[in-house]
Amino acid sequence: MEHVGSSFESEERRLLGIFVPAERPDVPGCFQEHACLCSGDGFFDIVVALVLAVLINNAKLSVLWRFIYFAPVVTPQVAIGTIWGYLYRPNNGLFNSILRLFGIKPIYWLTDPNVALWSIIITAIWAGIGGSMLIITAGLKNIPQDYYDAAKIDGAGPFRQFFHITVPLLSPTLLFLTATGFIGAWQVFDLPFTMGRNAPARSVMTVSWYVYETAFQSLRMGRASAGAFLLFCVIFGFTLFILWLFRRGGIKGYE
């Protein structure tokens, strides 16, 4: 039965003249890649954005800095993927050229299966910092100055102020960012799709990419629908989990 099905499939594909990649990615595989992408992006994005937002908060020319950091957010993701694809080129891409100047061996950013995912995470962080930073900045503005004044009188330095006032009082904002970031990341498509097409064995394939490719290139609508539904289940479960987290974090943050 299995055999009949598969031969029919290949016949169908032959008739339609569709190219199907030999190594078809499996669903668990892309969920795994995707989870890694999500957590890497979600975590580092928030950490970097938090540090930068605190640094920029009362800096001179803060509007200018914010504008610069926000620029990638309003740039289409496809354009970002394309630019970074060129920057990551193995031989004469900008990054490898810079590395060569310092005498470091070139890194195969997008073609080394161990590195490709991280390259995309770096790009995603670059593209996402601005948005997270704005939200964190808004959160920072809501922390009354009194706390910092009191801490200064008690002799707390900037680092202690950061860890004992800023971070705890920002926890609702940070939780919010984690939640939205992770849910957004589960739907990510453009960056891996535009940058990862040359990655070996599809090491950066995401679920949405899988759904898209199965549906519109292999024309396997049923399988693609199943993938999409699975994705929905994961996001739904994740949302419930974050809701639960929110309930704890939200209330704890104000007690």
Partner 1 sequence: MNRKKVIRIVLEIIRYVIIIFGAFWMILPFFWLFSASLMSPQELMSDVPKWLPEKPQWNNYLQVLKRIPILTYYKNSLIVASSVTLLVLLTSSMAGFAFAKLRFLGRKILFSFVLSTMMFPVFIFLIPVYYLMKLFGWLNSLSVTHCPLCGERIWNISDETVHTDDTRRTVGLCSAGRCEGIQDLHMDHLAFDKTSFGNACDTHIHRPMEFFLVAADSYFNSTKTHDLARRYIPTVFGVLHGGDATLNLNSARLSSDTDGRRISVPAKVLHSRFCAQRLWKLVMKELTEG
What is the rounded CA–CA span in Å between residue 116 and residue 114? Answer: 6
What is the rounded CA–CA span in Å between residue 61 and residue 240? Answer: 41
Amino acid, single-letter form, for residue 81:
G
Rounded to 5, what percent of the chain is helix, strand, coil? 75, 0, 25
Residue 201 or 245 with smaller CB distance to partner 1: 245
Q: Write the binding mask 162 to 201 for partner 1: x where contact by CB under 8 A, - elsewhere.
A: ----------xx-xx--xx--xx-xxxxx--xx-------
Residue 4 or 28 with smaller CB distance to partner 1: 28
Residue 7 or 236 with smaller CB distance to partner 1: 236
- Site membership for partner 1, residue 27 (CB under 8 A): no
What is the rounded CA–CA span in Å between residue 168 and residue 249? Answer: 11
C-alpha angle 62-65-89 in degrees, rounded to nearest 5: 170
Q: Which stretch binds partner 1 (CB under 8 A): 26-34, 38-46, 51-59, 112-120?
A: 51-59
- Site membership for partner 1, residue 134 (CB under 8 A): yes
Residues 60-119 that bind partner 1 (CB under 8 A): 63, 65-72, 74, 76-80, 82-84, 86-87, 91-92, 94, 97-98, 100-101
For the CB of residue 15, give the shortest distance to partner 1 in the complex, in Å.
17
| Cα-based distances in Å from 115 to 84, 129, 164, 244 | 14, 21, 36, 34
